[in-house]
Amino acid sequence: MMTTKVGKTGAIARRPAVWCALALALATVLAAPAVAQQYTGRIDFTVVDNTGGVLPGARVEVSGAQTRLG
């Protein structure tokens, strides 16, 4: 019969639940910054003609060189 000496690291290595918990915690910490990268914004304005009258239903396109959206 072969006997092995189990040190402190061996005790942790034999517990898959500990490794699973550590992996889950690491994945959660690494995924948090990715969730924070959401593009949100709001632009409020009123389209008017030369006399100051409001133009209902006017179509406006907004684009930005940095975001390449539009």
Q: Which residues constitute the domain of residue 35?
A: 1-56
Is 48 within the bounds of a domain?
Answer: yes
Does the structure show a pLDDT above 70 at 69?
no
Sign of CA dihedral 17, 30, 41, 67: negative
Is 68 within the bounds of a domain?
Answer: no
Does the structure show a pLDDT above 70 at 7?
no
Is 39 within the bounds of a domain?
Answer: yes
| pLDDT value at residue 6 | 55
| pLDDT value at residue 36 | 62
pLDDT in tens, 14-67: 678 888 889 998 888 887 766 666 667 778 888 999 999 999 888 888 777 666
| pLDDT value at residue 35 | 61
Is 23 within the bounds of a domain?
Answer: yes
Total tally of structural domains belonging to the chain? 1
At 48, give phi and psi (nearest 5°).
-130, 160
Is 66 within the bounds of a domain?
Answer: no
Is 61 within the bounds of a domain?
Answer: no
pTM: 0.32
Is 30 within the bounds of a domain?
Answer: yes
